[in-house]
Amino acid sequence: MSKGIQLMFDIKDLYQEVIVDHNRSPRNFGRLENADTTLEGFNPLCGDKLTLYLKTNSGKINEIAFDGSGCAISVASASLMTDAMKGKSLDEAEILFNQFHNLVTTDDDYDAESLGKLVALAGVKDYPARVKCASLCWHTLHSALQGDNAPVKTE
Amino acid sequence: MNNSNTAKTITNISAPFDVERFRKDFPILNEQVHGKPLVYLDNAATSQKPKQVIESLDAYYRETNSNIHRGVHTLSEQATAIYEKARGKVKEFINSDSIKEIVFVRGATEGINLVAQSFGRNMLKPGDEIIITELEHHSNIVPWQILSEQTGATLNYIPINDAGELILEEYEKLLSDKTCIVAVGHISNALGTINPIKTIIDKAHAVGAKVIVDGAQAVPHTRVDVRELDCDFYVFSGHKLFGPTGIGVLYGKEAILESMPPYQGGGDMIQTVSMEKSTYNALPYKFEAGTPHIAGVIGLGAAIDYVDQLGLEAAAQYEIELLDYADEQASQVPGLNFVGTAKNKTSILSFTLDGIHPHDIGTILDGEGVAIRAGHHCAMPVMERFNIPATARASFAFYNTRQEVDALIQAIDKCQKVFN
Ligand SMILES: Cc1ncc(COP(=O)(O)O)c(C=O)c1O
């Protein structure tokens, strides 16, 4: 029996250029002064920790940033997510959250156009242990937008 | 029995350790992962099983399966006999005085919880003290935290230095006539440090404290002699000793076990039950409520037979040389930092790479067929001490080879290529 049934296995399917780049120089990284929402996310299994900062105004995400530490997948995901979320309405954010969730957990078709660079994270779904890394920041954002104040845990 | 063991060992040491011969006993080592030969370097999490162990389980279920200690029929008598024979093997293996001192539990974790609840809870009062160490696995921390909440006893930690060694001067400062229990790991699962447990035990006894040793990482790598150590309790898990999961051993000195109340109630642990009151069975059955993991015990017996014919001392010597080789190779990798550099250590190479998170290392190594553990290794206080969230940990067994170390080093190189 052979494990990891993918025929052409290539680690670069997971660690794509975009991910390596966003890990090396994360965008929107650093504390946001005067944030109106600040929420922590924590992945107890890995010790990944991030804090998300948001400024929303009339139903729109005006500014968004994060800091913390984690693996390349979690840092790149937060970097890409914050880029993608800037200027989105809360409804649009919710739609993108669901699209991203499908992207990393299902084999369903996805809308490459609205996901944009986030598509680089599609490879994660072949690594069940790493899905949590990619989704930590998203769950944190989701809770923050729902008005939850409790820190988010992925377990 | 002991004499014949020693004789075997001597022959094994004089001949070179024949790793290829022993590898053939482990079917899983022929597996491929992502199209590459499996390089299994996660032995501290669980070890692989030789066919002798796998076959013992199969034979039990095919030929002898039956409940023990309660049937007059042939199968039950046979099952009881092999179950109890395995207890005898454990007794010899750790050189205990009597089979009454060998209690089967689910694993090291359950053994520690049993001691905390059955021994500790009855003895401790507010103001008493428990000493553990910063190096412990969570399973040798949390049961003592629970116990200290239940009893009002204080929990103190022996700190470690930058090499990951216990600071014994600090231990001496913590010891006093208030110290009731000292719980210490024999070998650290996160760093591989071998602790000076004989010294720790003697010093604890000098103030009248009892000592429990967590031997989960020690039994696969070193000969344990509980009488020589004079520890009061010693626990380990079968699955790290090339045996099945779900079975482990609690050794306790007979007089102490005798004084302790049962941990769980149920079948097998009683002598008589009336509606008002029950009387308890003799040792060790007092602590083995319910139908035990019979197959697990039999598999553990087979694992001990395996280790005996292997010669644990010869295997340990081979592992030390292998770790030296791995350390030497790893020290030439730019950007690799060792975590845990104790003078006295075994079988574990815990490390970080500059700019690459341990989880990414774990995933990329897996792509090369190399299985390691990435994370906090259930030892978060150790990670805190070194101010890191996690490490990558390669942990070796006697069936690992230098070629596998080379595969590890090449896979680490691949990590660096992916990120740079
Ligand atoms: C040092 C140490 N103690 C205790 C344990 C717990 O063993 P188990 O999970 O088999 O009960 C482990 C296992 O990881 C360990 O490495």
DSSP state of B333: S
Give residue A79's domain range: 13-147
- Partner A contacted by B138 (CB < 8 A): no
Chain A residues with CB under 8 Å of B386 CB are: none
From first to last of its 155 residues, chain A has per-residue pLDDT tens of 445 454 567 888 899 999 999 999 999 999 999 999 999 999 877 778 899 999 998 889 999 999 999 999 999 999 999 999 999 999 999 999 999 999 999 999 999 999 999 999 999 998 988 999 999 999 999 999 988 777 777 65
Query: Quick check: CB of B235 below 6 Å from ligand 1?
Result: no
Report if residue A31 sits inside a domain: yes
What is the position in ligand 1's atom list of the atom closest to the CA of B237? 10
What's the token pair of residue B374? 């990435």
Contact B156, B143 (CB under 8 A): no
- Terminal Cα distance for chain B, rounded: 57
Quick one: which H or E segment has residue B158?
Answer: strand B154-158
Q: Is B4 strand, coil or helix?
A: helix
A45/B375 touch (CB, cutoff 8 Å), yes or no: yes
B324-346 pLDDT per residue, tens: 999 999 999 999 999 999 999 99
CA of residue B106 to ligand 1 center, whole Å: 11
CA of residue A76 to ligand 1 center, whole Å: 33
Report CA B356 to chain centroid distance, whole Å.
30
What are the boundaries of each domain within chain B? 3-30+311-419, 54-308
Report if residue A39 sits inside a domain: yes
Nearest CA in chain B to A124: B363
Report if residue A87 sits inside a domain: yes
Report if residue A5 sits inside a domain: no
Q: What is the mean pLDDT of residues B130-142?
A: 97
B366-410 pLDDT per residue, tens: 999 999 999 888 999 999 999 998 999 999 999 999 999 999 999
The region, left, alpha or beta by phi > 0 then psi within -120 to 50, assigned to residue B242 is: left
If you classify domain B3-30+311-419 with CATH, what class do you get?
alpha beta
- Partner B contacted by A71 (CB < 8 A): yes
The answer to whether B3-30+311-419 and B54-308 have equal CATH topology is no
A47/B360 touch (CB, cutoff 8 Å), yes or no: no
Question: What local confidence, expressed as pLDDT, does residue B270 receive?
Answer: 82
Residue B185 backbone dihedrals phi, psi, to 5 degrees: -80, 145
Q: Is B312 strand, coil or helix?
A: helix
Contact B193, B164 (CB under 8 A): yes
Report if residue A61 sits inside a domain: yes
Residues of B serving a catalytic function are 378
Contact B185, B140 (CB under 8 A): yes
pLDDT reading at B357 higher than 90: yes
- Partner B contacted by A44 (CB < 8 A): no
Quick one: which H or E segment has residue B370?
Answer: strand B370-371
Question: Quick one: which of B147, B186, B148 has its CA closest to B166?
Answer: B186
If you classify domain B54-308 with CATH, what class do you get?
alpha beta
pLDDT reading at B197 higher than 50: yes
Question: What local confidence, expressed as pLDDT, does residue B230 receive?
Answer: 98
d(CA B179, CA B211): 10
Number of structural domains chain A divides into:
1
B225-266 pLDDT per residue, tens: 999 999 999 999 999 999 999 999 999 999 999 999 999 998
Report if residue A18 sits inside a domain: yes
pLDDT reading at B1 higher than 60: no
CA distances from B183 to B20, B197, B238 (A): 38, 10, 20
Report if residue A58 sits inside a domain: yes
Q: What is the mean pLDDT of residues B273-288?
A: 90
CA distances from B350 to B85, B162, B186, B190, B201 (A): 38, 14, 17, 7, 27
Question: What local confidence, expressed as pLDDT, does residue B11 receive?
Answer: 45
Question: What local confidence, expressed as pLDDT, does residue A44 receive?
Answer: 79
Sign of CA dihedral B210, B216, B222, B227: positive
CATH number for the domain spanning A67: value is 3.90.1010.10
